[in-house]
Homo-oligomer: A and B are copies of this chain.
């Protein structure tokens, strides 16, 4: 018997990806598919690629009905859209996996500054667990509310975590130059994502700390470093649908050499089924992980200038959103962490 799982926000790209993955999951199934924007619509009309799921109809995002249908819900909603619903679901005992940003930042004032106003459910922040699966397995397993990391933070953190946690780099001089495929912006229409504008175009945006993922990366890395860190985070839009690469720069601590870095990365990710540390001359590329929940990590030491360059590649909708959420689901349910999640990408 597969455990029923609700997906709220199934008309967005991350929500639809959650449905796709759950449809192939041996221990869970997509049981209740809700949409704020198109309740009543046939799923196959909204997403023809999901037509094989048959005559599924999108339901309203009603907490009572969700609670009757499933013990756990995946929320795939825009920022500020899951305050009430998460409170209502938690009150009904439903465990919540939030793919959105509302429960990632521990400090509601930081949230308010970056997300356009006061936090609407600060009472939930205490129980929220930051769902970086490779780092917080135990806390995720026990959690009632998991905040799945953002797409950029997932890549940046997996690229930098071993180096920062092991003290191999100076934590106050970090740069994350990140590049994402356009699907990271979702299905909502905007000129920047119009094909004619985004195709054959590479564009930086929200540079120099203006992007909302900046405090999220800093908060998480502070946990790795054991002290505050500061990060310059700089995202770019890349003319491809899926794929995200973070190129991270850090000053090496005195005496650290390439072999120390290699040893740390191998040790940290030895038990992580989805992280592959590149060997030899290989470097990660986004296409190596397309459609999979894998993260490819690699690094170079620039000895001339004493700097570490660490890179991580993910699929922004899978490991960067829905797949990471289902990895968290697996941990919460006590299943194998990799259950139902593709490790092999679609290539070419």
Contact = CB atoms under 8 A, between A and B. Distances in A.
Contacts of A190: 189
A209 B302 contact: yes
Nearest to A200: B240
A52 B193 contact: no
A348 interface: yes
A348 B199 contact: yes
Interface stretch (A134-142, A278-286, A328-336): A278-286
B195 A247 contact: no
Interface stretch (A70-78, A81-89, A92-100, A230-238): A230-238
B240 A202 contact: yes
Q: Contact size class for A?
A: 35 or more
A106 interface: no
A49 B247 contact: no
B238 A238 contact: yes
Interface in A172-215: 173, 175, 177, 179, 181-183, 187, 189-191, 193-205, 207-210
Interface of A: 13, 16, 20, 23-24, 45, 47-53, 173, 175, 177, 179, 181-183, 187, 189-191, 193-205, 207-210, 230-232, 234, 236, 238-243, 245, 247, 249, 276, 282-292, 294, 296, 300-302, 304-305, 307, 309, 311, 313, 342-348
27 contacts: A47-B347, A48-B282, A49-B287, A49-B288, A49-B345, A175-B249, A177-B249, A179-B238, A182-B199, A183-B195, A189-B191, A194-B195, A195-B198, A195-B239, A196-B348, A200-B243, A201-B243, A201-B285, A202-B285, A203-B283, A204-B245, A207-B283, A209-B304, A230-B305, A234-B309, A239-B239, A242-B346
